[in-house]
């Protein structure tokens, strides 16, 4: 209980610092909204692009933002400093995850409202599935974001390594382009990773006639999330790497 | 010995075949400022990080405030403060916010305004961390170390990169900590810092403690002796017996280390008057800690056995 209160306190400080940092706020917050405007302006398939960019926003807030932000904190010695205090390490990390989820929730709300108001896309037809997708996706991508820090050699490399992991997959995973006409081998690759399953579950929760709802998508997200948690616990480093 | 803040016995640390710490003993009394001195790579940081609980030791016994720091007890972490060399802070929070955030981690934090006053950051209270100068950020580091009102504070090179007036302020701050009854474990490579602040000093070289004691009386075989120097012109008569046997003569330069400078000086000056020898550039010096340190850390010609 005390750890949970401490985690909430950490969340509030992380949140305060985040909005004061123009670079962080821009890349994590404004970037996905920019894509929302650009794609829906360029293409007519708003029924695809609104949920797809919604999924992208959650991935940006949870995976990209957590992996980069925690790596930077690690290499600046912030994690090591926290480790020397009586704050339970898990409370610190949960605080950061809570902040990521908070940003994701704001973004998905904006995307959904913008879809209804400007792009003629109805809100999710099945709110239960929508919330389940959101919960599974946010949890999985936060866990993977924490685990992924172990693969990032230093803070300078963080943006390159994280984008190299996310962007190619996003292009074949129903995020920036519908994957219907992608060659089979690309679809097979995308099927292994969590981004496409998250995008498809998001698309289906908005409109099941556009993409069919499949509980398997959430199952795959769950497996990736647990893998991220296990690998994160095993390989996460609190010490700067120089 | 209930008043021992730190008790280290036969501590060793190896990384594979590299033996960074080769069996050291350290005892730090509660309430004293203890300084660990040594060149880079001597095992200083490894030793401190073992005491802080950041690293596991390979062998030996370590007790910090009666706890084994290797176990990572939160009750121990609540009683110590750690100021590391290179640690960042959330740059977009203010000084007061950062200190307050850390205060919240401890069961009995020190009042915020008191901390800010001890480190002298009153005027920067509401400034964002990224706007602080290097010296001010270092003071914030110390402030964070004080957040939990620790009994024992580890300070790792607290004044590296400071200009002279900032260093003097930092020293004043460390003296204030001692006044508050804190035990301070200070690592530094500035001799004058240790000489000015520390009650006791240990010098670590090559993973071993080579000297330990109050800075004024650090005992090494020659190091604690007074140095008498003068210039002896070519063709002067030979020095009197007691001086001749102890003298190291290089060209015209004479250097004599002695534990009994009064008697020896009397003999030398008497001899000089009798023989009408001018003792050019005569000087008598107590060894500074710096000389002791340089003597002890001078690379040996042969490798360690």
Same domain, B84 and B115: yes
Whether the CB-CB separation of A88 and A10 falls below 8 Å is answered with no
Q: Is residue B245 part of a domain?
A: yes
- How close does chain B come to A55, measured CA to CA in Å? 29
Q: Token pair for residue A30? A: 């404004």
Residues spanned by the domain of B72: 4-217
Give me the residue from B84, B92, B107 closest to A81, CB to CB. Answer: B84
Looking at B173, B200, B217, which one is the last position of a domain? Answer: B217
Same domain, B262 and B184: no
SS3 for B283? strand
pTM of the model: 0.84
Question: Mutate which of B46, B87, B108, B129 to disrupt the A interface (most A C-beta within 10 Å)?
Answer: B87
Same domain, B147 and B278: no
Distance from C-alpha of A148 to C-alpha of A165, rounded to nearest angstrom: 10
Q: Is residue B162 part of a domain?
A: yes
Among B106, B60, B74, B55, residue whose Cα is nearest residue B208: B60
Give me the residue from B74, B87, B91 closest to A80, CB to CB. Answer: B87
Q: Is residue B294 part of a domain?
A: no
Same domain, B29 and B142: yes
Q: Is residue B258 part of a domain?
A: yes
Whether the CB-CB separation of B284 and B228 falls below 8 Å is answered with yes
Q: Is residue B90 part of a domain?
A: yes
pLDDT in tens, chain B (305 residues): 458 999 999 999 999 888 999 999 999 999 999 999 888 888 888 999 999 999 999 999 999 999 999 998 899 999 999 998 877 899 999 999 999 999 999 999 999 999 998 888 999 999 999 999 888 898 899 999 999 999 999 999 888 767 788 788 888 888 988 888 899 999 988 878 888 899 999 989 889 998 888 887 664 545 557 888 888 887 778 888 777 777 888 888 888 888 788 888 888 888 888 888 888 888 887 766 666 777 677 765 444 44
DSSP A102-159: HHHHHHHHHHHHHHHHHS--PPPS-HHHHHHHHHHHHHHHHHHHHHHGGG--SGGGHH
Q: Is residue B62 part of a domain?
A: yes
Which domain CATH number covers B67? 3.40.50.300
Q: Is residue B297 part of a domain?
A: no
Paired strand residues for B18: B15
* Contact at CB, A80 and B105, closer than 8 angstroms: no
* Contact at CB, B105 and A73, closer than 8 angstroms: no
Looking at B187, B217, B247, which one is the last position of a domain? Answer: B217
Paired strand residues for B33: B184
Same domain, B242 and B187: no
The CB density around residue B216, as the number of other CB atoms within 10 Å, is: 10
Q: For chain B, what is the domain count?
A: 2
- How close does chain A come to B70, measured CA to CA in Å? 12
Same domain, B236 and B136: no
A125 or A227, which is more confident: A227
Question: Mutate which of B69, B71, B92 to disrupt the A interface (most A C-beta within 10 Å)?
Answer: B92
Residue A180 DSSP code:
T
Same domain, B88 and B137: yes
Same domain, B18 and B110: yes
Chain B contact set for A76 (CB, 8 A): 87-88
Among A233, A235, A237, residue whose Cα is nearest residue A70: A237
**b or e along B151-190 (b: 16 or more beta carbons within 10 Å of the residue's beta carbon)?**
bbbbbbbbbeebeeebbebbbebbeebbeeebbbbbbbbb
Distance from C-alpha of B35 to C-alpha of B176, rounded to nearest angstrom: 16
Residue A12, chain B, CB below 8 Å: the answer is: no
Looking at B217, B235, B259, which one is the last position of a domain? Answer: B217
Find, in chain A, the residue whose alpha carbon is nearest to that of B105.
Answer: A87
């Amino acid at each position: 209980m005390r750890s949970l209160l401490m985690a909430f306190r950490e969340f509030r400080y992380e949140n305060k610092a985040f909005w004061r940092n123009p670079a962080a706020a821009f890349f994590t917050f404004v970037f996905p909204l920019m894509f929302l405007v650009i794609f829906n302006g360029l293409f007519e398939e708003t029924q695809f692009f609104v949920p797809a960019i919604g999924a992208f926003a959650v991935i940006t807030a949870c995976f990209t933002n957590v992996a980069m932000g925690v790596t930077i904190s690690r290499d600046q010695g912030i994690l090591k400093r926290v480790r020397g205090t009586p704050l339970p390490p898990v409370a610190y990390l949960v605080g950061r995850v809570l902040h990521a989820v908070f940003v994701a929730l704001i973004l998905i709300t904006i995307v959904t409202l913008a879809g209804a108001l400007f792009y003629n896309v109805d809100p999710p037809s099945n709110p239960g599935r929508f919330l389940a997708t959101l919960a599974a996706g946010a949890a999985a991508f936060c866990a993977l974001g924490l685990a992924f820090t172990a693969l990032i050699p230093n803070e300078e490399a963080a943006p390159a390594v994280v984008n190299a992991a996310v962007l190619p997959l996003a292009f074949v995973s129903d995020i920036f382009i519908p994957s219907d006409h992608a060659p089979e081998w690309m679809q097979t690759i995308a099927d292994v990773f969590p981004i496409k399953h998250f995008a498809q579950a998001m698309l289906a929760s908005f409109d099941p006639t556009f993409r069919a709802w499949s509980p398997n998508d959430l199952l795959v997200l769950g497996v990736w999330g647990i893998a991220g948690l296990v690998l994160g616990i095993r390989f996460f480093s609190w010490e700067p790497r120089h | 010995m209930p008043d021992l803040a730190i008790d280290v016995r036969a501590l060793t640390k190896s990384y594979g075949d590299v033996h960074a710490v080769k069996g050291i003993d350290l005892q730090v009394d509660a309430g004293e400022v203890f300084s660990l001195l040594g060149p880079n790579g001597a095992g200083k940081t490894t030793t401190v990080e073992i005491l802080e609980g950041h690293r596991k030791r390979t062998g030996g016994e370590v007790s910090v405030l009666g706890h084994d720091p290797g176990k990572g007890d939160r009750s121990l972490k609540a009683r110590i403060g750690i100021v590391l060399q290179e640690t960042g802070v959330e740059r977009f929070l203010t000084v007061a916010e950062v200190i307050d955030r850390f205060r919240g981690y401890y069961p009995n934090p020190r009042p915020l305004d008191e901390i800010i006053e001890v480190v002298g950051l009153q005027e920067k209270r509401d400034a964002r961390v990224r706007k602080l100068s290097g010296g001010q950020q270092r003071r914030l580091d110390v402030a964070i170390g004080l957040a939990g009102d620790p009994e024992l504070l580890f300070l790792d090179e607290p004044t590296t990169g400071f200009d002279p007036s900032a260093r003097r302020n930092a020293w004043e701050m460390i003296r204030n900590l001692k006044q508050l009854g804190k035990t301070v474990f200070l690592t530094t490579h500035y001799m004058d810092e240790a000489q000015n602040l520390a009650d006791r000093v240990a010098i670590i070289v090559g993973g071993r403690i080579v000297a330990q004691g109050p800075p004024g009386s650090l005992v090494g075989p020659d190091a604690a002796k007074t140095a008498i120097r003068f210039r002896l012109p070519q063709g002067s008569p030979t020095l009197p017996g007691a001086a001749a046997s102890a003298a190291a003569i290089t060209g015209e330069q004479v250097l004599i280390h002695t534990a009994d400078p009064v008697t020896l000086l009397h003999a030398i000056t008497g001899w000089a008057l009798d023989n009408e020898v001018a003792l050019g550039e005569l000087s008598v010096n107590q060894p500074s800690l710096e000389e002791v340190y340089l003597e002890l850390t001078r690379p040996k010609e042969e490798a360690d056995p």
